């Protein structure tokens, strides 16, 4: 009786949640707090930070830089890198959505055996390291283009923004297909039959019935593609040849060759703030539309 009295429902709940909470604190909250603290410190000339030397220069450098007279002047180079990253990430979201939505819809319409096979084919790329898949060459597409006399060299795609966009779509397409399929799988298809009975054609049934019910999966897929594509590092480095710098490459260069850890930490938090602000605005709008 005494043991049972000690393990009340609230204490059991706390005991079950404690390992997950400790993992989040140890591997997410504390590292982010360290990065936030680092962004307010002076950089050390040999790498790292100078503890106790507090400054806001790392955040000011996002928009301004010092000239030869040690005066702050407007510098839009970093804004251009952020704009390029947002643009390429949005392109990846749009293309993966245009491809992933029909694919997920087609898979959801199949019988269970064929559906499982198609899902297996979608998840097979996850079995190979993404760096290897991005770096590999001589694939079926490239060989086919070479046989037709239109190789990648002739198209001059490599080391361009288009190459980076194609790499982002290739890498993150499964992250769009699977959430949309998850929403469509739970849909009651009798609603589509009811739409046909009421005189709707296929496009109207898809637009008025299927698409609204698939919207949670669409939103989840867009977030799962946009956020990692925004901060990716190896795809622009390999396919862009270092010429198409994105936010991830910029942050890596600050922690690496530039040896400016506070500025790299400030860039990382600026990116995090933009993503969180966008998600908060969307949540506000979604909550408003739900209430309406």
Question: What is the C-alpha to C-alpha distance for residues 269 and 58, in angstroms, rounded to an integer?
Answer: 11
SS (HEC) of the chain? CHHHHHCCHHHHHHHHHHHHHHHHHHHHHHHHHHHHHHCCEEECCCCCEEEEEECCHHHHCCCEEECCCCCEEECCHHHHHHHHHHHHHHHHHHHHHHHHHHHHHHHHCCCHHHHHHHHHHHHHHHHCCHHHHHHCCCCHHHHHHHHCCCCHHHHCCCCCHHHHHHHHHHHHHHHHHHHHHHHHHCCCCHHHHHHHHCCCCHHHHHHHHHHHHHHHHHHHHHHHHHHHHHCCCHHHHHHCCCCCCCHHHHHHHHHCCCCCHHHHHHHHHHHHHHHHHHHHHHHHHHHHHHHC
Residues 210-216: contacts with CB under 8 Å, at least 24 apart: 210/105, 210/184, 213/183, 213/184, 213/187, 214/101, 214/104, 214/105, 214/180, 214/183, 214/184, 214/187, 215/183, 216/179, 216/183
Which residue ranges make up each domain of the chain? 34-75+260-292, 79-244
Residues pairing with 54 in the sheet: 41
pLDDT of 151 = 52
Residues of the chain with pLDDT under 70: 1-7, 135-156, 242, 286-292
**pLDDT, tens digit, for every residue of 48-92?**
788 878 888 888 888 887 777 777 787 788 888 888 899 999 999
At the second CATH level, the architecture of 79-244 is Orthogonal Bundle (1.10)
3-state secondary structure 21-42: HHHHHHHHHHHHHHHHHHCCEE
Say what the pLDDT of residue 1 is: 47
Residue 106's nearest CA partner among 172, 173, 180 is 180
d(CA 20, CA 13): 12
């Amino acid at each position: 009786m005494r043991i049972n009295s000690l393990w009340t429902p609230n204490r059991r709940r706390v005991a079950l949640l404690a390992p997950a909470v400790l993992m989040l604190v140890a591997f997410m909250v504390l590292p982010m707090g360290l990065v936030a603290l680092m962004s307010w410190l002076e950089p050390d000339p040999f790498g790292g930070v100078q503890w106790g030397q507090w400054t806001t220069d790392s955040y000011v450098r996002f928009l301004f830089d010092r000239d030869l007279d040690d005066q702050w002047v407007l510098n839009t180079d970093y804004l251009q890198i952020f704009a390029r990253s947002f643009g390429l990430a949005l392109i990846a979201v749009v293309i993966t959505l245009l491809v992933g939505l029909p694919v997920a819809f087609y898979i959801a319409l199949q019988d269970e055996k064929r559906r499982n096979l198609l899902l297996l084919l979608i998840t097979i790329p996850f079995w190979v390291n993404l760096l290897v898949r991005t770096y590999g060459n001589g694939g079926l597409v490239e060989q086919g283009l070479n046989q037709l006399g239109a190789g990648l060299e002739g198209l001059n795609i490599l080391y361009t923004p288009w190459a980076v966009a194609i790499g982002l779509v290739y890498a993150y397409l499964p992250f769009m297909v699977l959430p949309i399929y998850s929403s469509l799988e739970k849909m009651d298809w009798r609603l589509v039959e009811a739409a046909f009975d009421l005189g709707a054609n296929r496009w109207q049934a898809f637009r008025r019935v299927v698409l609204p019910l698939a919207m949670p999966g669409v939103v989840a897929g867009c977030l799962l593609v946009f956020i990692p594509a925004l901060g990716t590092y190896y795809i622009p480095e390999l396919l862009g040849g270092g010429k198409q710098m994105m936010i991830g490459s910029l942050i890596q260069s600050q922690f690496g060759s530039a040896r400016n850890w506070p500025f790299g930490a400030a860039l990382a938090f600026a990116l995090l703030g933009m993503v969180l602000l966008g998600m908060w605005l969307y949540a506000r709008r979604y909550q408003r539309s739900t209430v309406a």
